[in-house]
Structure 1
Amino acid sequence: MISSIRSTIKSRYIIQIAVGAILVSFLLSVPLARRFGAGSSDPIMVNNVGVSAHEIEARIKSEEKMQQEFQKRFSGISMDVIYGSSGKSSNPKERAVSDLIEEALFESAGNTAGIVVDNNYVIDQLKNPAFVQHELGDIVPQSAWNGRHINFKALSAHLNRAGKNIEWFEDQVERRLVRQIAQNVSRIFIHAPYSQLVNAYVQRFVKRTYQVATFELQTYIDKLEKLPVDSTVLRNFYNYENSQAKRYWSTEQRDGSVWSFTPEAYGISVSDKKIEQYYKRNRHRYLKEARKLDLEIIKVSTNKLVQELHSSLKLDGSKFKELAKKHSIDKKTASDGGSLGMIDPITLSSPIERAANKLVKDGQISTVIDTKSGFAILKRIGSKPAIYKPLSDVKSEISKELKVEQFSRVFKREVRNSVRIAHRSENSVTNFIKKRNGKKESIATPASSGAQSAPLLNRITTVDGFAFDLIGSTGYLVKLTNRVKAEPEAFVKVEDRVKQDYIKNQAAKQMQSEMKAVSNGLEQHSFGSVPSQTYKDVLPSDSGSLDDLFKKGLSSTRLFELTTPKAYIVDQGASHGFVAQLSTVSSYDPKKLDSELLTIQNDLVMQELRTIQRTFIESLLGHATIKNDLRGTSARGN
């Protein structure tokens, strides 16, 4: 299946990135030509890139689920407070659409700059767990991904059930790679001044003293609970929260019947010959021990040095261990002559893995490898071939898989036909269930939400409608018998809960107001009369004295970002708020700073990337044409 992708995504896709081309060409309004063409039915158009209704619906559901988790975690606090702190809308639809528009901006910018992707790069990324999980997780089901490889047969079956095909999947992969490259190209513009490197070093390695004032939310709640609250105020709060997040809505109730079917009811058998043929075609799936290579590595930080070493090794590869001990910056392997031992190449970083797999004979030296932390050279010392499980060990497993495969085809064909004619013949479904010995159970959501067939029940749109699918080795046919849609709960029914939430929301605002007043006082370097506590000799790697504050919600990341004495942060968790000031910073050894500069610089590039991308997005938004922007005016900044 990978070979079919390789032929479909042809070699015309070559990475073509010119420094600044994305931003410059976009600002000059170079005409766009999206290769995959936006569909005329796409609800949102960003330049020539369409955002489909399916994408919008899926992202809104994801945002709603995340918001529900936030509401459980920060019970009673308004979503305006939670999302407002990060500059986001409290409306899940607005957040979803904003994110999708930003992604479309990157895609159109990538097309404008002429970014296309090489076939080998596509294949590499389809084997990259991080890319598959983070970028393709919504279209590659768990059943088609084993953590290392995509099962394209299972993927194709999944896509067919959703009305898609492999060609659609290939388009999605390329689109997302173009978008990813457009996002990552902004690293080109990152420069870390020496002063920034010093600050980063202080964050990690230099002891410091903090002074922290802690505010408890419950204290403010207790005070407000003693005061009367006007019913009109509560009703306004109820209406606002429902309009933004459906906070006081009932949960949709569904009832149905589910019939389960197994391969045994179909009398399916598989011959030994078919099992043996399947084993030979798919032997790679029954790996007992992966192929391993005995490798040595030299890692250096400069291109000049790596080129000198590589030239020397081309003349005399026997010097590898000697040069590794002398020049390699990899502390784990340098003392042993760069030995990585006998390892599976997949455990190495992508560029090093690719280079290792190109070494076909013992003693061979790799080309220079460009890595995130510098440069590397590999030498192959030996190899150990892959070991596969014998047929006798996996025969029953293959037999079961082939039976399920046959069962899947027959079951889906029969149930599809019976459901299709159900409106003409009431007995068609009944006869099918009786013929195939379907076992009936009742199902209800959300009560039975954990059941395997629950997603099928939720998929049905009309009462007396059907849905079916194969889950694992069991076929399911589900009928929706009753549906009570979600709707706003009556105010009188939830008034007590609304009051509790309103008080908690107001308490959070009061606490934030007092925290702001304290932080304003720190402009004059004083906590005033507010109680505070001092924490001395703190390091990120040894911050046990602050653990209690971190458990209450103080962000360790934000706290340790402070590097200048008298600098401060205002932070808030679910139950407490904090104003924390960096009081003093100990002196440090300049020699140790110099030894850590390379690592710090590489880390800063990643940290700065988000800020660079944010600026880039704002520039793109300022010059983009967005048709049918579904965000609210607040989300658009109007």
Structure 2
Amino acid sequence: MLDFFRNHQRLMMFMLVLVILPGLGFVGIQGFRGFFDESANVASVNGHKITRADFDSRMRQQLDQARQMLGAQFDPKIIDTPDHRKDILDGLIDQRVVADETQRLHLTASDDAVRRAEMSSGIVASAKNPDGSIDLDRYKQTLAMMGMTPEQFDESMRYSLSLQQLQGSIVSSAFTPKSLAQNLTDLAEQQREVQGLAFHPADYASKVQPTDAQLQAFYDAHKSDFATPATAQIQYLVLSPATLAAGVTPSDADLQKYYNDNIAHYRTEGEVRASHILIAVPKDASPADREKAKQKADQLDAEVKAHPDQFAKIAQDNSQDPGSASKGGDLGYFGPGMIAGGKAFDDAVFAMKKDEISNVIQSDFGYHIVKVTDVKPAVTKPFADVKDSIAKDLKTQLATKSYTDDADGFTSLVYEKSKSLQPAADKYKLQVQTATVTPAPNSALPPDSPLNNAKFLAAVFADDSLKQHNNIQAVDLGNNALISARVTDYKPSAVPALDAVKDAVRQKYVAEQSAELARKDGAAQLAALEKSKATTGFSSAVKVSRNNAQGVPPAALSAIFKADGGKLPAYVGVDLGSDGYAIYRVNSVLPAAPADPQRLAAAQQQIASVEAQSQAEAYVEALRARSKVKYYGSLGSAQGDSN
């Protein structure tokens, strides 16, 4: 099909004109553009669009997480399925309906809650110095790498805390009766004394002596098991910021301009280290209570002014800030806006000198008396110290910009010059690489190798690529990377002659037949034991529980606990597949030992957590049911509205 398009481009352009121009007469230019704009969205919730970029970002995030967890066993086809893609979209829709409900209920988070959450976040932790102070320059750079400013981080954290309030209210109200926790704990820890009798396939292998006719019949019935995979020798190009970076060299003038334009990134704002005494005043305090608190603050202010060397002790005895009182009021190092005292607090503190004690400062939290114990002036790193770092950052930025500028051109060029990748390699200064690939990912390659991308491999082994040896259309690998390839040689999947794989055929035949003999022998023995109730041949007795299997296979453990405990001894047989067959004799049922209060409380909490999660999911389902949800069909899902 693609080859037909390439060879009849003028005809195809004429046909497109015939199709498109009349359409414009019906819907108008603006309507036509609006029709195609929907391709950028996958769904909408109450009018809020969920963009394909949002979906692709979440999809890449899950693929990256799976890749990190599974390593060499990672197979993107396990994650990138229609069902899983729909699950991801449903998750984005659920997130949106919760956000809408949060907004409807006017839920928000206080400045103090935002500050506490930020201080416990990994971002702030990574920017802390050994003395506990925060390196503001490093903090801003970390946020910049994530595409955020400190202000955007504040709002992101506030938004996250607001969303948590809905689920938090449901979780906090979940309750599980102690009796239910006790019953489930008893079931989990109930023990059964069992003895095992195994029938291993290896013990039956010598009884399997296949004839040539049997091997031929087995081979004929299982030819696909012995087939060699199809292989394609390819040339390929990868366009990404990394491959384009080699051709990007910023000049000294570019580096100096970048430094001047981003001087704030290399400036460490001034910090102070201070201790304070807080006399707290609730927001709903009466005028009389406020006056009483002010008098107390004035009294302490006079006391520390008279005895400045006693500030820490006075703070420890009198400050009503639980976070700092035990440390003599020490707040550590901080910059403007990092202490939730407001503008009046910052204006007073950052105007003070070392060892100076403030007058009483009023904030939203009450009255403060502050002693500045150290002052760090603002420092700007000189250009020479950060030149190498700027060169690296700027090179990455320019390469990323080049990728953005070149992606469409690369895609068009490998399509138009379909018989060679060299024009694209020459234009974008890329290296043509070679490889041999199969339709399935190669476990010997890194999981994130572009040669293991499922869409790429599908394109390589498409008819147009294999028969016409045309360049495949550029495949988006995600994370700003495109790949195109051209097949130079192809070997289809082939089934070797029986003589070439006879040993493998024999081995597989013997294994299957040995397992079958073990199963038959085991089933016959089980029937005899159920009549005789014999104990001979069994292993020593062991006590197993659902929490402690003692090496018993999961399938066997399930069968053991399904046996009727009121009719003992009981015999159960379990087909273990290629591992053969096993019989277990259940001798007795031992009740669980009384659970200690701590374990019972933990079990009760776990069950409550499961119940809370179920209630939270039901709540989200209810929100979704009353929301206007529209699918655009971008993921292959049914189009339509849901109310």
> TM-score if structure 1 supplies the norm length?
0.46
Larger radius of gyration between Structure 1 and Structure 2: 2
Q: Which has the higher helix share?
A: 2
> TM-score if structure 2 supplies the norm length?
0.46
